[in-house]
Amino acid sequence: MLRNEEYGVDWSWHDANGLSRVVNVSGTMTALGGSVTTKRVAEATAAAMPRFAKIHELQAQASETIARLTGAEAGFLTASASAGISLSVAGCLTGLDPAKVEALPEGAGPDNGVAVQMGHLCEYGAPVSQAITLVGGKVHVFGQSTQTRDYQLEAALEGAAAALYVVSHHVVDYGMMPLETFIKIAHAKGVPVIVDAASEYDLTGMIAKGADIAIYSGHKFMGGPTSGIVAGRKDLVRAAYLQNIGIGRGMKIGKESIAGSIAAMEQWLERDHAAIRARETEALQMWSEAVADLPGITAKALPDPTDNPLERLRVWVDPAVAGASAAQFAVAFGRQDPPIVVRGHEVEKGYFDLDPCNLTDGQAALVRDALTRVLSDKSAVEIDEAAAHDDVRNGGTESYLNWLS
Ligand SMILES: *Cc1c(COP(=O)(O)O)cnc(C)c1O
């Protein structure tokens, strides 16, 4: 086993700034800084910093790149995908009327409904419903958490300015209405469809299926600076963009992030996806071999639940044999030096996952050695079972509450 310094990971920035080192095998998480960018994206961001530029011109360039990336007519960049949802809903409420833009959220008018099926009312770090109500939209929930029928959407479209569809592992994965049907029913009533596809690799599918607006995060798999990508029908994109003179002001994106996000999108169009996938597969292989003979541990690479082209290693833990539960081990990994953040969304089911998409040089081997060390020695676990579950479930909010306390 290598000593911490010997993996070849560059920790110089963390160490110089007194920050905790972090190994992220959980996915693209806001609390860990989203994703890591390439040098090309960092340079594009840095080049914009010391210069003035006409923002509308930069955004028009972004629009062209977004159109090439998604097949949409137009697009723009904003602070985040969450902002993209709010601005898109607001655009459907106001059209290109600046007085209406300034009147939001109170002045949204009576037809301010946004139809969403109940199983899509997820939280991605904040409730999706709040991204709607924030701008004056009224959530028209339809269906039940595990069942949606056509007539329910038809009813929810009465008095609606938009309909929102969420494609994500965060949403209920059965009994939901397929996107094509959702679009067909909404369009029959003349209501535009906004698709939140923040974390999806499929950049053309939503628009190809007829979505009027599709929204992506620039800082997730795309590896751009923190940003949201709004793509869609030109009239709606322009109306959403106009919100920058109103509610969008607090969701502003700067020139540096526009330049960096354009570079990230160009890079996505050109990058060697197969080579990146091969490197990820190699890490999964290395980790599976490391845990293969550990008592009470079973691991298998599984495809992404929404068909993104990636796999994660699922590690099942039999507590009676391994000496601790999946939740306890997940917490223990976070207390290593350096902390290793695993994907513990479903630890109550007896497993955690390892996501290989955000590794930097040397980290795959570091994770491999930590897996053998922690999973074979329950003395690494300093937290009891119930507390470990509470920690995983409430941790996201607790960390905000504990900040500066
Ligand atoms: C991450 C995510 C968001 C929020 O994205 P940000 O760009 O971080 O605001 C919204 N919706 C879904 C489905 C997500 O996965």
- What is the structure's pLDDT at 113? 98
- CA dist 109 and 101 (Å) reads 12
Best residue among 164, 170, 199 to mutate for probing ligand 1's pocket (most ligand atoms within 8 Å of CB) is: 199
| Total Cβ atoms within 10 A of residue 372 | 16
Q: What is the pLDDT of residue 380?
A: 81
Of the residues 270, 286, 311, which one is the last residue of a structural domain? 270
Same domain, yes or no: 243 and 285:
no
Q: How far apart are the CA of 203 and the centre of ligand 1, in A? A: 15
Q: Of ligand 1's atoms, which has the minimum distance to the CA of residue 170?
A: 13
Give the model's pLDDT for residue 1: 66
Q: Please tell me what DSSP assigns to residue 247.
A: G
Mean pLDDT of the residues in the chain: 96
Helix axes 385-402, 326-334, angle to 10 degrees: 40
Q: Which domain holds residue 75?
A: 39-270
Per the CB < 8 A criterion, the answer to whether 4 and 336 are in contact is no
Among 270, 292, 320, residue at a domain's last position: 270
CA 183 to chain centre: 23
- Residue of 382 and 260 predicted with greater confidence: 260
How many angstroms separate the CA atoms of 232 and 204, rounded?
A: 11
Work out the pLDDT band at 381, boundaries 50, 70, 90: confident
Phi first, then psi, for residue 369 (nearest 5°) are -70, -35
Whether 344 and 372 map to the same domain: the answer is yes
Please count the structural domains in the chain. 2
3 state DSSP class of 343: strand
* Atom number of ligand 1 nearest to Cα 167: 13
Distance CA 316, CA 155 (A): 43
Which atom number of ligand 1 is nearest to the Cα of residue 171? 13
Q: Which atom of ligand 1 is nearest to the CA of 199?
A: 15
Q: How far is the CA of 93 from the centre of ligand 1 (A)?
A: 22
Residues 254, 326 share a domain: no
Atom 11 (ligand 1): residue with closest C-alpha? Answer: 198
How many Cβ atoms from other residues are within 10 Å of residue 314's Cβ?
17
Q: Could you report the per-residue pLDDT of 191-234, keeping only the tens digit for each?
A: 999 999 999 999 999 999 999 999 999 999 999 999 999 999 99
What distances in angstroms separate CA 365 from CA 294, 335, 341, one per listed residue?
A: 17, 18, 15
pLDDT tens digits for 270-327?
999 999 999 999 999 999 999 999 999 999 999 999 999 999 999 999 999 999 999 9
Q: Can you tell me which atom of ligand 1 is nearest the CA of 30?
A: 8
Rounded to the nearest whole angstrom, what is the distance from the C-alpha of residue 198 to the centroid of ligand 1? 5
Domain boundary among 270, 288, 317: 270
Please name the residue whose Cα sits nearest to atom 14 of ligand 1. 198
Beta strands in 218-279 (DSSP E): 228-232
Strands (E), 31-108: 74-78
Q: How far apart are CA 118 and CA 17, in angstroms?
A: 44
Q: What is the pLDDT of residue 5?
A: 78
350 contact partners, CB below 8 Å, separation of at least 6: 316, 317, 318, 319, 325, 326
Shortest-distance atom of ligand 1 to CA 82: 9
Q: What is the torsion angle, in degrees rounded to the nearest 10, for the CA atoms of residue 362, residue 366, residue 368 and residue 374?
A: -170
The CATH number given to whatever domain includes residue 85 is 3.40.640.10
| Top mutation candidate among 82, 166, 308 for ligand 1, by most atoms within 8 Å of CB | 82
Helix (H) or strand (E) holding 280: helix 273-291
Same structural domain, 293 and 229? no
Atom of ligand 1 nearest to the CA of 126: 4
Rounded distance from Cα 27 to ligand 1 centre (Å): 12
Q: For residue 379, what pLDDT is reported?
A: 85
Residues 301 and 384 occupy one common structural domain: yes
Q: Binning pLDDT at 50, 70 and 90, where does residue 48 land?
A: very high
- Smallest Cα–Cα separation from 23: which of 36, 38, 40, 6? 36
| Confidence band of 378 (pLDDT split at 50, 70, 90) | confident
Give the tokens for residue 16. 């110089």
184 CB neighbour count, 10 Å cutoff: 16
C-alpha radius of gyration, the chain, whole number: 22
Helical axes 55-70 vs 255-270, angle rounded to 10°: 20
DSSP state of 148: -
Q: Are residues 259 and 393 in the same domain?
A: no
pLDDT of 35 strictly over 80: yes
The set of protein residues with a Cβ atom below 6 angstroms from ligand 1 is 30, 80-82, 124, 166, 168, 170, 196, 198-199, 217, 228
pTM: 0.97
Q: Is the model's pLDDT at 268 over the cut of 90?
A: yes
Q: Are residues 243 and 299 in the same domain?
A: no
Judge whether residue 2 has pLDDT over 80: no
Instruction: Return the best residue to mutate from 217, 221, 222, 355 for the ligand 1 pocket (most ligand atoms within 8 A of CB).
Output: 217
State whether 222 and 281 are in the same domain. Answer: no
In terms of domains, do 24 and 91 share one? no
Rounded average pLDDT over 168-188? 96
Q: How far is the CA of 134 from the centre of ligand 1 (A)?
A: 16
From ligand 1's centre to the CA of 217, what distance in Å?
Answer: 6
Q: How far is the CA of 376 from the centre of ligand 1 (A)?
A: 36
183 and 302 fall within a common domain:
no
Question: Measuring CA to CA, which residue among 182, 186, 181, 134 is closest to residue 160?
Answer: 186
130 and 184 co-located in one domain: yes
Q: Do residues 390 and 255 share a domain?
A: no
Domain holding 22: CATH number? 3.90.1150.180
Picking from 165, 157, 81, the residue whose alpha carbon sits closest to that of residue 117 is: 165
> Residues 241-255: pLDDT tens digits?
999 999 999 999 999
* Side chain identity, residue 130: Q
Nearest of 86, 129, 124 to residue 104 by alpha carbon: 86
pLDDT band for position 154 (50/70/90)? very high
pLDDT, position 392? 86
In this prediction, residue 164 carries a pLDDT of: 99
Angle CA 171–333–220, to nearest 5? 40
229 Cα–ligand 1 center, Å = 11
Residue 405 clears pLDDT 70, i.e. is over it: yes
